[in-house]
Structure 1
Amino acid sequence: MTDTEPTQMRAEVAASWERSAAAGVDITQLEAPIALETPDLRGLREAHPLARVFPLLDDVLGNEVRDCGAVMALADHEGTLLWVCGTPDKLRQAEGIGFVEGSNWDERLAGTNAPGLALATGRDAFITRDEHFRSSVRSWSCAATPIHDPFTSQILGVLDVTGGDAIVVPQTMAMVRAAARMAEAELARLLPPPPTPDRATGLRLVLELLGHNEALITIDNGQGKVSRLRLSRRHSEIVALLAAYPGGLTGDELAVMLYEEDGGTSTLRAELNRLRGLLGEDLLASRPYRLTAPLAGDWLAVEAQLAAGDLRSAMRGYGGPILPRSTAPGVVRLRDGLAASLRQGLLRSRAAELMSAWTRSGWGRDDYDMWLAQRAVVAPTSPMFALVEGQLARLDRDLA
């Protein structure tokens, strides 16, 4: 550790440093990479939804940051800076670290920084001086927050304020957050709302199983009424299995997948009746047992991304094993199948940053083969190499 690196570090910053190192960012790299040249940048800005609220943000926030000797930046959802505003002298200083329009500040390209961290976590991010991964940025501090589509909640981009020590106060983040929420409200007024679902489409379900011991289920009636439930352990298992078999299951088939030992048919009928009472008569049919509404799920998205070869999106969406504490045989099979598919994809990928995300997790921390695969692709000069070697030594001791 150099004299300029922090002796203590917040957990979210440490995780970002590890992601940056795993992605191959050089700590001595002077500038962030340029992602778009001027003609392409101009076209992207004109077409981007944030173009509708940039004048508002510049008026509300831009003038404030100019007065305190900072710059305001607005990036898209990939981390490319679309607009950078400030006084001429501050903009010239920002050019020295590549903080310019068209540069990309995704932490996998530019190292730990507030816009990149906000994109990676989906939350407010404040990075001060030595918390930056790259040495060249450590005289700066920055505060950023995502801006969301008001109708879909997807991240459209990130609003950032970057400057010197004067911005390292709680009011800075409050000001950035307030401006972002104002922009979202203005987008809700300016953007056309999504089409209203046809009444005939009826109910829709969204099921969240990854990393949850108890499933979260969202029920949308297609007419603006949305309810959200946390199911019991057994109900979670039943819904997960019915979702995995859209054609339906007989009572006997479902019982075999739920119970580790024979029996439990009468108990299962009682559980299904209670579940029907929670979900509603229209959602759970019998003979065979099946869910009757269109269903989306977090694990289904990961499966689809893996099938499409989009390993990065699959890893980003994988919040953990399916119902990790369940011992129901059918759920165990679903859980192990998805984890094995994702793990094999990572082992073949030779992408150190993706493997690192796996080994930083609770479920992948002791995955010896994944640590070995990382060591094979991480350069010996990388700061990650010593970490990987240390973890392999730990596992060697534990396994011995």
Structure 2
Amino acid sequence: MRQPGRQTRRPERRIPQSAAELAKVHERALAEAAARSANRDPSAPDEPPFLQARPEIGDSWERLRRLGLDPDAGADAVHLGPAEIEHRRRASGLDPLLPILRGTLVEQVDQPPLILAITDADGHILWQEGERGLRRSAERIGFLTGARWVEERVGTNGIAAALRAQRPMHVHSAEHYLRSHHSWTCVAAPVRDPGTGLLIGAINLSGPAHSVRPYLLQLTATAAKLAETELRARRLESLHHLRTLAAPMLARVNGPALVVDAAGWTAAAAGLPPPARLRLPAEGWGSAAVHWLPSLGECVIEPLADGWLVRPVRPQDTAPAVPGPDPDAAGPGGGRVAEQAEGARLRLDLRRAASPGLSVRGAAGSWSHALSPRHAELLLLLATERDGLSAAQLADALFGDPARTVTVRAELSRLRRYLGGLLAHRPYRFADSVLVTVAGPEDPYDLLPASSAPAVRRLRAGLVGGTARLPGTPPLPGPRPPADGTVAPRPRSDPLPLPPQ
């Protein structure tokens, strides 16, 4: 009910009615932004921008235009068979969560008709529930169990956006790339395995665009957190079971040892302070008898049921390093990790959007593990700017806000716990003796697609335009050098403009 004396209608941005109009909006906005960056006086006030899509939506349109996806037809549908659907349902680990999600999302009497869809990490719809008439309407656009709901096939959509951005996302009406989807709104949130941190699927709610409710995005995000909480409880129960089996075994082992589960979480330890989790190799243990781990040094690894027995070869290396006065000094095992810096080769693997990884080969040994999205962003920025960046510069590059230095310093402190001497500071940078390479995806728009950091978005654009390249990759054909004789930046420099320290 309207209340006298109060504004009853908030100003709204007009949403164009077709994908073609939205594409024109995005192209014009990019062109005007590029012109302002090249010609505007830095002291002049910002001009009001032309109507444009949200960054995540605009990036998706640009990628799909480059792929040549038809906004009227999409691409050939990909559907799983019944046997493959059942296999993926079991492998996802989400099957036991259905009663919780159903009760939270589709059995509420006061909400409009919606379709609940649960997908795996590849975007395959494994379960779908909702009002029958609405589901029949969804089937006409290919939204049904077994379909693969990814951008390359069906354009910009909530499921694909949430899986790529790895955070809750909504795509409303004409924000969809395909015209046939403009009458729909979808909200989705990713679900991660609490044990590994890896993406395992997404929860999606879809309904008619005219009946969208502002609370649906928060409801979906809450359901995803509820699912992760249930998965975490199951993992703790499994860890407790492994601890029960490990106790008598550790009592018979000579010297320090610990038992970890398949994800590296410590179940039990004897003779050394137990780390909460070991960084296990992303590619597996291989055939070597001895492996080097960042927090323990050289270790003998033996398989157990649902886990591993880890025995350090050099017990003295397991003692925590004495912390120095610098809060950024290396943590436990930092002295051992420092040996990696001399002649070390560090490879940042960003080829797979959902699983960025890091591998290091040095004098003390070799190791690798998966990276969190934030750590992948930080290491990418430091790899493209070998001269180093201050905390304020990194905060501006990540968040567009130089004042968010506390967050940056906290994340870098976590990185230095296992990178140790590989990372220097004041400014933050890789050590000079470390050879850094970055393996990127074939399509620059797949470079950390979960990231909306201003510097990462500019780097993607530079890779597309041929004005930037990743460390360790050959130069790409791109625009000719400026006619004024300006010297192109050297390979180790960041091609992105950053504020002074």
Q: What is the TM-score normalised by the length of structure 1?
A: 0.60
The letter for the 2-side match of 1:112 is T
- Confirm or deny that 1:122 pairs with 2:166: yes
Give the 3 Å change call, closer, same or farther, for CA 332–363 of structure 1 in structure 2. Answer: farther
Aligned to 2:330: 279
2:194 to 129, 150, 156: 150
Give the 3 Å change call, closer, same or farther, for CA 364–97 of structure 1 in structure 2. Answer: closer
Give runs of aligned pairs for residues 174-193 of structure 1, distance below 5 A: 174-191=218-235, 193=238
Give the 3 Å change call, closer, same or farther, for CA 189–116 of structure 1 in structure 2. Answer: same
Q: Comparing both structures, which one devotes a greater share of its residues to strand?
A: 2
Aligned to 1:200: 257
- Secondary structure of residue in 2 paired with 1:64: coil
Aligned to 1:62: 106
- Secondary structure of residue in 1 paired with 2:119: strand
- Secondary structure of residue in 2 paired with 1:290: helix
Give runs of aligned pairs for residues 188-267 of structure 1, distance below 5 A: 188-191=232-235, 193-194=238-239, 200=257, 222-224=274-276
**Partner Cα separation in structure 1 for residue 202 and residue 448 of structure 2:** 25
Per-residue CA deviations over 1:12-45 (Å, capped at 9, x if unaligned) read 1111222333344321225772241222212322
**Partner Cα separation in structure 1 for residue 190 and residue 340 of structure 2:** 36
1:224 shift after superposition: 3.1
1:85 shift after superposition: 0.8
Contact 1:123–1:146, Cα closer than 8 Å, also in 2: yes
Q: Comparing both structures, which one devotes a greater share of its residues to helix?
A: 1
Q: Which runs of 5+ in 2 are unaligned?
A: 1-14, 26-51, 251-255, 260-272, 279-293, 299-322, 350-355, 361-369, 389-428, 470-477, 487-501
**Partner Cα separation in structure 2 for residue 14 and residue 132 of structure 1:** 11
Contact 1:66–1:86, Cα closer than 8 Å, also in 2: no
Per-residue CA deviations over 1:365-389 (Å, capped at 9, x if unaligned) read 445874899xxxxxxxxxxxxxxxx
Aligned to 1:362: 458
Give runs of aligned pairs for residues 326-345 of structure 1, distance below 5 A: 326-327=386-387, 331=431, 334=434, 337-339=436-438, 342=439
Per-residue CA deviations over 1:52-103 (Å, capped at 9, x if unaligned) read 1012211221223895122110011111110111111111100011110111
**Partner Cα separation in structure 2 for residue 122 and residue 298 of structure 1:** 23
Give the 3 Å change call, closer, same or farther, for CA 109–65 of structure 1 in structure 2. Answer: farther
2:97 to 53, 70, 80: 53
**Partner Cα separation in structure 1 for residue 184 and residue 484 of structure 2:** 42
Q: Which runs of 5+ in 1 are unaligned?
A: 203-220, 227-242, 248-271, 306-312, 374-390
- Confirm or deny that 1:4 pairs with 2:4: no
The letter for the 2-side match of 1:4 is S
Give the 3 Å change call, closer, same or farther, for CA 129–41 of structure 1 in structure 2. Answer: same
Contact 1:276–1:284, Cα closer than 8 Å, also in 2: no
Contact 2:444–2:460, Cα closer than 8 Å, also in 1: no
**Partner Cα separation in structure 1 for residue 110 and residue 119 of structure 2:** 18
The letter for the 2-side match of 1:200 is A
Q: Which fold has the larger relative contact order, with Cα–Cα distance below 8 Å and residues 6 or more apart in sequence?
A: 1
Per-residue CA deviations over 1:97-135 (Å, capped at 9, x if unaligned) read 111011111223321111101000110101100001111
1:322 to 378, 382, 395: 382
1:178 shift after superposition: 1.8
**Partner Cα separation in structure 1 for residue 168 and residue 111 of structure 2:** 23
**Partner Cα separation in structure 2 for residue 397 and residue 70 of structure 1:** 57
The letter for the 1-side match of 2:339 is R
Percent identical pairs in the alignment equals: 21
Aligned to 1:106: 150
Aligned to 1:387: none
**Partner Cα separation in structure 2 for residue 14 and residue 368 of structure 1:** 15
